[in-house]
Structure 1
Amino acid sequence: MTPAPDLSNRIALVTGASRGIGYHIARQMAAAGAHVIAVARTVGGLEELDDEIKAERARTGRGEATLVPLDLTDMQGIDRLGGAINDRWGKLDILVANAGVLGVIAPIGHVEAKVFDKVMAVNVTATWRLIRSVDPLLRLSDAGRAILLSSGAAHSARAFWAPYAASKAAVEALGRSWADETRNMKLRVNCVDPGRTRTAMRAQAAPGEDPATLPHPSEIAANILPLASPELTETGRIFQAKPQRWVSYRMPE
């Protein structure tokens, strides 16, 4: 496994930080020295994360957190978040756009409009709004890093996964376009497919699956962390997180 990068004095924004992969990314970034702005709807999960980060800081003197309870369907709230980060820190070093919803696993003609609209609102529109809100702040960093969570569903386009697959394909397109816009800047933008992981979303998608056969989200988070490194040079790529290893590929031009 790649060693965790040194994120001392970096400001990192992580969405969906109250559970699953986002929770462990936030916790590990704090352990690596970052000040984590942890965003999620669930206050209890954010408080648990904060307790873990405070305990780690008491042991090592590294890492802090600022908790932001926010539903990402609150688009104006996302806009205000960028302003608040600017007022307090004047920049942002790392963005991890992790929050997302599955919707339903169903034939495309059976998906209710309100379900489709929510998947697109949370997974796509909120991601775009977040990018728009923090792009100027990431450009002010000496090594801005953006990590957008995607899914293998974006490429497999399996039966019954249409809304989720479409939303993640859109996220990848946003990320690749953003990376191309900023290719000559210090900002690096990459997407990552975490793969099958022991999360609540995976349990919803595959209720008969044995979770013990899947990697823990802390393992996947540790594999994603190198994309936040100030030493990273790659941009516009889509990575697959595998336990103990990385696989990366550039999508066709």
Structure 2
Amino acid sequence: MDKPLSGKLALVTGASRGIGAATAETLGAAGAHVVLTARTAGGLEEVEERIHAAGGSATIAPLDLAENDSIARLAEAIGGRWAALDILVLNAAMLGTLAPVPAIDAKEFARLLTLNIMAQQQLIAAFDPLLRASAGGRVIGLTSTVAQAPRAYWGAYGASKAALETLLLAYAEEVARISAIRVAIVNPGATATAMRRKAYPGEDQEKLKGPAVVGEALLKLVQQDFETGYRLTVEG
């Protein structure tokens, strides 16, 4: 089997299930060594086992991205073992409670913004040196349709994803002319995941595409020399 990512190192956040797990498995099958992060060690271990069973290699790093110093410690550990990071997939996110803007719970909103925005900036900052050390670093941020098409009751989540897009586009411009890093924003569209089920409990997920479709799309993307700031919507 062709291993187009052989020798590459990838870090996937929110990798214990759904799109994160599928992406990690797809990258692993393509030859990348994948570092898996999420809060649930059990889920990460299951993904790691599937990657190994398919002939790939992976390392798990259970942690809460919202905890103080967790990202810095992760970057230090990875930097102590590898000289460069080739692929960073920013997938981890919190949906929160869908509610009218005046009814958004302040404490939950703070937690949502901490994970969906602040932790993403910290990940970019912490891994920027390793991404620059790569011959072609790729940063892929997962977004949502509601980032650009606001919808009732999706104000908190949509605002966080809109902010993430702004953050990624600014970073894309900052590194465009001084490094080989390329940044892309990916909207996975309607996909059968636990987060989607929480948002749309009455929806028939059998009619939606599976996370593996998104994983395959991301695999194709990271192999391309796309213009930084590129946007992709995964159809299906």
TM range (shorter): over 0.9
Distance 1:100 1:75 in 2: 17
Among 170, 180, 183, the residue aligned to 1:186: 180
Partner of 2:49: 51
1:184-205 deviations in whole A, cap 9, x for unaligned? 2211011101011100100111
1:180-231 deviations in whole A, cap 9, x for unaligned? 01112211011101011100100111111111111111112111222221x4
Distance 1:187 1:197 in 2: 28
Gaps of 5+ in 1: 58-62, 244-253
Distance 1:239 1:5 in 2: 23
Partner of 1:32: 30
1:112-145 deviations in whole A, cap 9, x for unaligned? 1111111101111110010000011100000100
Q: How does 1:238-249 map onto structure 2 within 5 Å?
A: 238-243=231-236
Partner of 1:90: 83
CA displacement at 1:85 relative to structure 2: 1.2
CA displacement at 1:107 relative to structure 2: 0.6
Partner of 1:213: 207
Partner of 2:108: 115
Partner of 1:13: 11
Distance 1:225 1:74 in 2: 29
Distance 2:68 2:119 in 1: 7
Check conservation: 1:30, 1:65, Cα contact below 8 A.
yes
TM-score, length basis structure 1 = 0.90
Distance 1:100 1:170 in 2: 13
Instruction: Find runs of 4+ consecutive structure 1 residues off by over 3 angstroms.
Output: none
Distance 2:70 2:221 in 1: 27
Distance 2:213 2:229 in 1: 24
DSSP 3-state at the match of 2:231: strand
Check conservation: 1:176, 1:236, Cα contact below 8 A.
yes
DSSP 3-state at the match of 1:192: strand
1:88-126 deviations in whole A, cap 9, x for unaligned? 002111000100010011111111111111110111111
Check conservation: 2:3, 2:31, Cα contact below 8 A.
no
RMSD, aligned α-carbons: 1.2
Gaps of 5+ in 2: none
Counterpart residue identity of residue 192, structure 1: V
Check conservation: 1:188, 1:234, Cα contact below 8 A.
yes
1:146-196 deviations in whole A, cap 9, x for unaligned? 001111110111011001000000110011001001112211011101011
Check conservation: 1:8, 1:33, Cα contact below 8 A.
yes
Counterpart residue identity of residue 221, structure 2: L
